[in-house]
Amino acid sequence: MFSSLVFATILFLIWLIYLIFRNHSYMSYIPMPNSNIIFGHIFYFLNTTDLLQKITNMTVENGGIVRIYIPPIKPTVIITNPNIIREITRSEKMLDKANYYKYFSEWIEEGLLTTKLQQWKPNRKMITPWINKQTILMNFMKIFESKCDILIENFEQQLGNPDLDVTPIVKIFSMDVTCECLMGVNDFDDDFKRNYFNSIFNIGRTSLNRMVSPFKRFDIFFELTRESRSFEKELKNLESVFEELITRRRKNAEKSETDGHCTFLDFMLQMKDTHSIKYIREEVTTMLFAGHDTISTAISFILYALSRHPEIQENVYDEQIDIIGNENVTYAEIQQMKYLDMVINETMRMYPPVPLIGRKVEEDVVIAGKYLLPKNHSVGILIYGCHHNPNYFPEPEKFIPERFQNEILPGTYLPFSLGPRNCIGKKFAWLEIKVCISKLIRRFRFLRPEPDYKIDLVPQMVLVAKNGIRLSLQKRVE
């Protein structure tokens, strides 16, 4: 018995030594920042405070490419070098999403965000003309306006609140916009929406925990945890949201045969004879998430940035007064808001709604003429790190909208990603954001909260402020 135990211990130690040697020598031609010999960089991820900045500093100090090692699997390559990013995002050999997207695909499954290359190409080709059609985008203007009016009413109820977290309020606004514009549904109550938001948040947190855990990343161990059972419950909750969307859309269509336009949900349901309901659910679920979470995140951070820079805020206001002819903004007026464009760009530079994206190498490929990326290896593009690199954005922690008066080097700024797999809904998002900020800035001043605080950023499915995105409101004198 004793000898068997000794033998097993020796075998384990041999395996451990082999694992340590293999993982530390794997792609040794790519820099690896200081790490624990056994635990790698896992301790960086246990404490999320300033995590993004820590990894950004690692990449800047090592030429924009590093290996990050979380045992027991091989290291992941993290990149912020713009030349390499352009190579990766344009390469036909690296259009598939990284292996770690599988933790999100249990929810979104095979929607555009996570689907494999073979299926992604025809799906993208089919959906792009609908979401980017100018006449459809212009039809959305009235919905943006009406939902902004409700948002204004909700903000007016917070006048006098010295420490308002705007995130929950803006999320409801953006969810309303997405449901009506893309799904043709406008009668979800706020409790239903909050339940959906909580499920999204919990799924995102669980997925991130799995990505950085040595054990939970393996299904066999994760399924033994209480977190797994909670995760399944949240997935079922999101499935019920999809069913409810279809039910309510059909009821709305029965009430009004001419309700304005063919929604994205209508567009997808028209394909039920040639595509499975599973495929339709995957694309609708993806669009619902992408259509509200990233946009609400961007709007919330824009309001926060304006609250901390009153002179810039007044410049935005002055531009609006010069351009807007009446209360409701037109599509043509939106195109004239050049200073607001710079403010939005600078906000998404400092606070990119999606801080990290990933690609998988389909076959061995050499990048930058010297780094061999092996087949099936995952590569992470740290968008936050690109945007905070002082080599391309001097004084990156300062909010300077005028940076965007000049041409930006491709690969250094990518809030909507780059290349063929960039964000399909960029035009929709940009239009919604500009209408919203235009309406709000003409009604309110946004002020620093009391007491002041430092925002605590953590990466999840989107960039999250762990302590809320806080400010206070003051009504402008009309």
CA separation for the pair 285, 107 (Å, rounded): 9
pLDDT higher at 396 or 44: 396
What is the pLDDT at residue 73? 77
The helix, strand and coil proportions of the chain, stated in percent and rounded to the nearest 5, come to 55, 10, 35
Beta strands in 141-278 (DSSP E): 164-165
What does the CA dihedral 298, 86, 377, 229 come to, rounded to 10 degrees?
10
CA separation for the pair 60, 371 (Å, rounded): 17
* Lowest-confidence segment of 80-94, 229-243, 268-282 by average pLDDT: 268-282
Structure confidence by residue, pLDDT tens digits, 138-177: 888 999 999 999 999 999 999 989 999 999 999 999 988 9
Of the candidates 147, 95, 87, the residue with the CA atom closest to the CA atom of residue 124: 95
Q: Can you give the residue ranges of every domain in the chain?
A: 2-475
Residues 442/324, Cβ–Cβ less than 8 Å = yes
Of the candidates 52, 54, 43, the residue with the CA atom closest to the CA atom of residue 466: 52
Structure confidence by residue, pLDDT tens digits, 45-68: 777 778 899 899 999 999 999 998
- Angle of helix 277-308 versus helix 226-255 axis, rounded to 10: 100
**Which pair of structure tokens corresponds to residue 6?**
């000794």
C-alpha gyration radius of the chain? 24
Considering 9-23, 120-134, 140-154, the range whose residues carry the highest mean pLDDT is 140-154
pLDDT higher at 349 or 179: 349
pLDDT averaged over the chain?
85
* Lowest-confidence segment of 106-110, 287-291, 351-355 by average pLDDT: 106-110
User: What share of the chain has pLDDT > 70, as a percent?
Assistant: 92
pLDDT higher at 370 or 251: 370
pTM: 0.89
What is the pLDDT at residue 307? 96
What is the pLDDT at residue 477? 75
What is the pLDDT at residue 256? 47
CA separation for the pair 88, 396 (Å, rounded): 24
Query: Is the model's pLDDT at 2 over the cut of 70?
Result: no
pLDDT higher at 255 or 105: 105
Residues 354/415, Cβ–Cβ less than 8 Å = yes
Query: Is the model's pLDDT at 375 over the cut of 80?
Result: yes
**Which pair of structure tokens corresponds to residue 184?**
């043709």
Mean pLDDT computed over 257-284: 72
Of the candidates 365, 393, 396, 360, the residue with the CA atom closest to the CA atom of residue 378: 360
Class of domain 2-475 (CATH, top level): mainly alpha
CA separation for the pair 38, 35 (Å, rounded): 8
Phi, psi of 356, rounded to the nearest 5 degrees: -150, 135
Mean pLDDT computed over 445-464: 86
CA separation for the pair 115, 239 (Å, rounded): 18
pLDDT higher at 132 or 138: 138
What is the pLDDT at residue 93? 86
How far, CA to CA in Å, does 336 sit from each of 139, 324, 331? Answer: 19, 10, 9
CA separation for the pair 406, 385 (Å, rounded): 20
